[in-house]
Amino acid sequence: MCSGRIDPEFIIKAFLNKIDGVFIGGCRLNECNYTTHGNYHALNITLLLKKIMEYIGLNPERLKIDFMSSGEGNLFAEIVNNFTNKIKEIGPIGKAEKKDPNIIEDKLKEISKLIPYIKIAKKEKLETILKDPSQYEDFFTAEEIERLFADAPSYYITPNKCKACGICVKQCPVDAIDGAKNIIHIIDQGKCIKCGTCIKACPKRFDAIEKIIGADIPPPITEAKRKIIRKSKKKK
Protein backbone atom coordinates (compact mmCIF):
# COMPACT_ATOMS: atom_id res chain seq x y z
CA MET A 1 0.00 0.00 0.00
CA CYS A 2 1.28 3.48 -0.86
CA SER A 3 2.16 5.46 2.25
CA GLY A 4 0.07 8.26 0.73
CA ARG A 5 -2.96 6.16 1.66
CA ILE A 6 -2.22 6.75 5.34
CA ASP A 7 -5.04 8.54 7.12
CA PRO A 8 -4.91 9.96 10.67
CA GLU A 9 -7.84 7.72 11.53
CA PHE A 10 -5.74 4.58 10.89
CA ILE A 11 -3.16 5.68 13.43
CA ILE A 12 -5.64 6.80 16.07
CA LYS A 13 -7.57 3.53 15.72
CA ALA A 14 -4.36 1.57 16.20
CA PHE A 15 -3.74 3.30 19.53
CA LEU A 16 -7.38 2.83 20.51
CA ASN A 17 -6.92 -0.88 19.81
CA LYS A 18 -4.21 -0.98 22.51
CA ILE A 19 -1.28 -0.88 20.07
CA ASP A 20 1.65 0.71 21.92
CA GLY A 21 3.53 1.94 18.86
CA VAL A 22 2.88 2.65 15.20
CA PHE A 23 5.52 2.51 12.48
CA ILE A 24 4.97 3.82 8.95
CA GLY A 25 7.37 2.80 6.19
CA GLY A 26 7.38 4.65 2.89
CA CYS A 27 9.38 4.89 -0.31
CA ARG A 28 12.35 7.21 -0.30
CA LEU A 29 11.40 10.86 -0.61
CA ASN A 30 11.79 12.27 -4.13
CA GLU A 31 11.84 8.74 -5.57
CA CYS A 32 8.09 8.26 -6.02
CA ASN A 33 7.17 6.43 -9.23
CA TYR A 34 4.03 8.52 -9.48
CA THR A 35 3.26 12.22 -9.49
CA THR A 36 1.39 12.09 -6.18
CA HIS A 37 4.46 11.91 -3.90
CA GLY A 38 2.21 10.34 -1.28
CA ASN A 39 5.13 9.76 1.07
CA TYR A 40 5.27 13.52 1.73
CA HIS A 41 1.61 13.38 2.69
CA ALA A 42 2.35 10.51 5.09
CA LEU A 43 5.23 12.51 6.54
CA ASN A 44 3.00 15.53 7.17
CA ILE A 45 0.28 13.37 8.73
CA THR A 46 2.89 11.86 11.05
CA LEU A 47 4.33 15.24 12.05
CA LEU A 48 0.85 16.57 12.77
CA LEU A 49 -0.20 13.54 14.82
CA LYS A 50 3.00 13.54 16.84
CA LYS A 51 2.21 17.09 17.94
CA ILE A 52 -1.38 16.14 18.70
CA MET A 53 -0.17 13.16 20.72
CA GLU A 54 2.07 15.49 22.68
CA TYR A 55 -0.90 17.83 23.20
CA ILE A 56 -3.06 15.09 24.77
CA GLY A 57 -0.21 13.70 26.86
CA LEU A 58 0.67 10.66 24.76
CA ASN A 59 4.38 10.04 24.14
CA PRO A 60 5.01 11.10 20.50
CA GLU A 61 7.87 8.59 20.23
CA ARG A 62 5.19 5.93 19.93
CA LEU A 63 4.73 7.04 16.33
CA LYS A 64 7.53 6.83 13.76
CA ILE A 65 7.91 7.20 10.00
CA ASP A 66 10.94 6.29 7.92
CA PHE A 67 11.72 5.93 4.23
CA MET A 68 13.55 3.23 2.26
CA SER A 69 13.42 1.41 -1.04
CA SER A 70 11.85 -2.02 -1.54
CA GLY A 71 15.34 -3.45 -2.03
CA GLU A 72 16.63 -2.36 1.36
CA GLY A 73 15.41 -5.29 3.41
CA ASN A 74 18.32 -5.09 5.85
CA LEU A 75 17.66 -1.40 6.50
CA PHE A 76 13.94 -2.10 7.01
CA ALA A 77 14.70 -4.86 9.51
CA GLU A 78 17.14 -2.64 11.40
CA ILE A 79 14.69 0.27 11.63
CA VAL A 80 11.78 -1.92 12.72
CA ASN A 81 13.88 -3.76 15.31
CA ASN A 82 15.12 -0.47 16.76
CA PHE A 83 11.60 0.90 16.90
CA THR A 84 10.25 -2.28 18.50
CA ASN A 85 12.94 -2.12 21.17
CA LYS A 86 12.14 1.54 21.75
CA ILE A 87 8.46 0.79 22.30
CA LYS A 88 9.32 -2.07 24.69
CA GLU A 89 11.50 0.38 26.59
CA ILE A 90 8.71 2.96 26.77
CA GLY A 91 6.16 0.39 27.88
CA PRO A 92 2.37 0.14 27.56
CA ILE A 93 0.33 3.25 26.87
CA GLY A 94 -0.13 5.17 30.08
CA LYS A 95 2.93 3.78 31.84
CA ALA A 96 5.54 6.17 30.47
CA GLU A 97 3.03 8.99 30.40
CA LYS A 98 2.06 8.32 34.03
CA LYS A 99 -1.56 8.78 33.04
CA ASP A 100 -4.69 6.66 33.39
CA PRO A 101 -4.98 4.70 30.11
CA ASN A 102 -8.74 5.31 30.20
CA ILE A 103 -8.19 9.06 30.17
CA ILE A 104 -5.85 8.76 27.20
CA GLU A 105 -8.40 6.54 25.46
CA ASP A 106 -11.12 9.15 25.95
CA LYS A 107 -8.87 11.83 24.47
CA LEU A 108 -8.02 9.62 21.49
CA LYS A 109 -11.73 9.03 20.87
CA GLU A 110 -12.31 12.78 20.86
CA ILE A 111 -9.43 13.27 18.41
CA SER A 112 -10.84 10.51 16.23
CA LYS A 113 -14.17 12.31 16.04
CA LEU A 114 -12.42 15.55 15.03
CA ILE A 115 -10.32 14.05 12.22
CA PRO A 116 -12.51 15.45 9.39
CA TYR A 117 -12.25 18.93 10.91
CA ILE A 118 -8.49 18.57 11.46
CA LYS A 119 -7.89 17.52 7.85
CA ILE A 120 -9.93 20.45 6.55
CA ALA A 121 -8.29 22.97 8.88
CA LYS A 122 -4.76 21.78 8.02
CA LYS A 123 -5.36 20.91 4.36
CA GLU A 124 -2.83 23.40 2.99
CA LYS A 125 -0.04 22.28 5.31
CA LEU A 126 -0.78 18.61 4.77
CA GLU A 127 -0.28 19.14 1.05
CA THR A 128 3.11 20.82 1.52
CA ILE A 129 6.24 19.07 0.25
CA LEU A 130 8.90 19.32 2.95
CA LYS A 131 12.21 18.75 1.21
CA ASP A 132 14.32 20.14 4.05
CA PRO A 133 14.45 17.81 7.09
CA SER A 134 15.24 20.80 9.30
CA GLN A 135 11.60 21.87 8.80
CA TYR A 136 10.18 18.72 10.36
CA GLU A 137 10.47 19.60 14.04
CA ASP A 138 8.65 22.93 13.95
CA PHE A 139 6.40 22.44 10.94
CA PHE A 140 3.49 22.09 13.38
CA THR A 141 3.92 23.99 16.66
CA ALA A 142 2.41 23.35 20.09
CA GLU A 143 0.69 26.76 19.96
CA GLU A 144 -0.78 25.89 16.57
CA ILE A 145 -2.23 22.64 17.89
CA GLU A 146 -3.72 24.41 20.91
CA ARG A 147 -5.36 26.92 18.57
CA LEU A 148 -6.56 24.11 16.31
CA PHE A 149 -8.66 22.63 19.10
CA ALA A 150 -9.64 25.95 20.65
CA ASP A 151 -11.09 26.99 17.29
CA ALA A 152 -12.94 23.73 16.66
CA PRO A 153 -16.39 24.82 15.46
CA SER A 154 -19.82 23.60 16.37
CA TYR A 155 -22.84 23.76 14.08
CA TYR A 156 -26.31 24.77 15.18
CA ILE A 157 -29.57 24.85 13.27
CA THR A 158 -31.50 28.05 14.02
CA PRO A 159 -35.06 26.86 14.69
CA ASN A 160 -36.91 29.83 13.18
CA LYS A 161 -34.89 29.56 9.96
CA CYS A 162 -35.09 25.80 9.43
CA LYS A 163 -37.64 24.85 6.77
CA ALA A 164 -37.34 21.11 7.44
CA CYS A 165 -36.30 20.48 3.85
CA GLY A 166 -34.20 17.44 4.81
CA ILE A 167 -31.21 18.35 2.65
CA CYS A 168 -28.74 18.55 5.54
CA VAL A 169 -30.15 15.34 7.01
CA LYS A 170 -29.39 13.47 3.80
CA GLN A 171 -25.93 15.00 3.39
CA CYS A 172 -24.62 14.43 6.94
CA PRO A 173 -22.04 11.60 6.71
CA VAL A 174 -22.58 10.40 10.29
CA ASP A 175 -26.36 10.75 10.68
CA ALA A 176 -25.90 13.44 13.32
CA ILE A 177 -28.97 15.44 12.26
CA ASP A 178 -32.42 14.48 13.48
CA GLY A 179 -35.35 15.70 11.44
CA ALA A 180 -38.16 14.82 9.09
CA LYS A 181 -40.76 16.51 6.92
CA ASN A 182 -42.31 19.43 8.82
CA ILE A 183 -40.04 18.71 11.80
CA ILE A 184 -37.38 21.31 12.62
CA HIS A 185 -33.98 19.66 12.37
CA ILE A 186 -31.58 19.33 15.30
CA ILE A 187 -27.86 18.49 15.27
CA ASP A 188 -26.74 15.87 17.80
CA GLN A 189 -23.55 17.50 19.10
CA GLY A 190 -22.37 14.16 20.46
CA LYS A 191 -22.35 12.64 16.98
CA CYS A 192 -21.24 15.73 15.02
CA ILE A 193 -17.72 15.42 13.55
CA LYS A 194 -17.49 19.15 12.72
CA CYS A 195 -16.92 18.52 9.02
CA GLY A 196 -19.12 21.44 7.92
CA THR A 197 -21.07 19.40 5.38
CA CYS A 198 -24.38 20.60 6.79
CA ILE A 199 -23.63 24.30 6.48
CA LYS A 200 -22.58 23.80 2.88
CA ALA A 201 -25.68 21.77 2.13
CA CYS A 202 -28.19 24.18 3.65
CA PRO A 203 -29.78 26.30 0.87
CA LYS A 204 -28.52 29.88 0.93
CA ARG A 205 -32.08 31.21 0.90
CA PHE A 206 -32.64 29.57 4.28
CA ASP A 207 -29.21 30.17 5.87
CA ALA A 208 -30.42 28.10 8.82
CA ILE A 209 -27.11 26.67 10.05
CA GLU A 210 -24.76 28.70 12.18
CA LYS A 211 -21.06 28.02 12.73
CA ILE A 212 -20.16 28.70 16.36
CA ILE A 213 -16.61 29.05 17.70
CA GLY A 214 -15.68 29.76 21.31
CA ALA A 215 -19.25 29.99 22.58
CA ASP A 216 -21.84 27.66 24.05
CA ILE A 217 -24.33 25.97 21.76
CA PRO A 218 -27.94 26.99 22.45
CA PRO A 219 -29.96 24.11 23.90
CA PRO A 220 -32.16 22.24 21.42
CA ILE A 221 -35.79 23.22 21.27
CA THR A 222 -38.36 20.90 22.80
CA GLU A 223 -40.13 18.26 20.75
CA ALA A 224 -43.40 20.17 21.11
CA LYS A 225 -41.92 23.19 19.35
CA ARG A 226 -40.33 21.29 16.46
CA LYS A 227 -43.52 20.79 14.47
CA ILE A 228 -43.87 23.19 11.54
CA ILE A 229 -47.45 24.16 10.74
CA ARG A 230 -47.63 25.04 7.08
CA LYS A 231 -50.28 27.45 5.90
CA SER A 232 -52.47 25.71 3.40
CA LYS A 233 -53.23 27.46 0.13
CA LYS A 234 -56.73 28.93 -0.04
CA LYS A 235 -58.99 27.19 -2.46
CA LYS A 236 -60.28 29.34 -5.29
Residue 232 inside a domain? The answer is no
pLDDT of residue 234: 53
Q: Output the CA angle 97-41-31, nearest 5 degrees.
A: 120
How many CA atoms does the CB half-sphere of 41 hold within 13 Å?
16
Instruction: Supply the pLDDT for residue 34.
Output: 73
Average pLDDT over residues 85-109: 94
Tell me how many domains the chain contains: 2
Residue 235 lies in a domain: no
Q: Do 32 and 132 sit in the same domain of this protein?
A: yes
Domain range enclosing 202? 154-225
Beta bridge partners of 178: 186
* 3-state helix vs strand vs coil in the chain, percent to 5: 45, 10, 45
Instruction: Evaluate if residue 128 carries a pLDDT over 90.
Output: yes
Q: Is residue 21 part of a domain?
A: yes
pLDDT of residue 31: 83
| Same domain, residue pair 145 and 167 | no
Does residue 159 share a domain with residue 109? no
pLDDT value of position 233: 56
Give percent above pLDDT 90 in the chain.
Answer: 87
**pTM of the prediction?**
0.87
User: pLDDT of 9-55, one tens digit each?
Assistant: 999 999 999 999 999 999 999 887 777 788 999 999 999 999 999 99
Question: Distances in Å between the alpha carbon of 163 and those of 53, 87, 181, 203, 212?
Answer: 42, 54, 9, 10, 20
CATH number of the domain encompassing residue 192 = 3.30.70.20
